[in-house]
Amino acid sequence: MKLGEVPEKSGMKIDVDWIDDETYQLFLDDQNFFVSITDLERLHHRLSALLRPETVQEKRSRQVAFLSQLKGAEDAGIQALLRSAIHDDILVLLHSSENDKALKEKLYGNMGEKSVRMYTEDLLFKFPEGVPDYLLDEAMTR
């Protein structure tokens, strides 16, 4: 079989088992792999992008609309959001605003100095390779 050629009938056995809250076991025929939940989520996101690109595009449109609404929100609303959201969701939101100076200023402008410093440091350590798009979508739904 040539590289990239797909057999007519693929009878590959594929399965996933839960090991613990952070680890899963992925079975592909006679091979198995232990993967973290983060890696499994990345795989899901990548497969979704390949199999259903229109869904990924719809999510991206919702994200852009959400970030645009935040930019126009009143300071009291931003402060309420920052108080009620979980830490990692705020990190995802801050990372998503990095290319939008006005939104970034709005978010950081509604935090105290201590919070700004904490979130800035946490962004460097928590997401050194950036934040996958699916995390923003998850944060928006919480």
Are 118 and 90 within 8 A, CB to CB?
no
Query: Residue 52 and residue 22: Cα distance in Å, rounded?
Result: 26
pLDDT of residue 23: 95
pLDDT of residue 124: 85
Residues with Cβ within 8 Å of residue 123, at least 6 apart in sequence: 91, 94, 95
Residues with Cβ within 8 Å of residue 136, at least 6 apart in sequence: 63, 92, 93, 96
Read off the tokens for 72: 């126009």
Higher pLDDT, 108 or 131: 108
Mean pLDDT of 51-79: 89
pLDDT of residue 26: 92
pLDDT of residue 8: 59
Question: What is the DSSP code (8-state) at residue 21?
Answer: T
Query: Residue 126 and residue 104: Cα distance in Å, rounded?
Result: 18
Q: Worst-scoring range by mean pLDDT, 14-18, 29-33, 59-63, 88-92?
A: 59-63
Residues 118-123: contacts with CB under 8 Å, at least 24 apart? 119/90, 119/91, 119/94, 122/87, 122/91, 123/91, 123/94, 123/95
Q: What band does 122 get if pLDDT is binned at 50, 70 and 90? A: very high
Query: Residue 12 and residue 98: Cα distance in Å, rounded?
Result: 42
Mean pLDDT of 122-130: 81
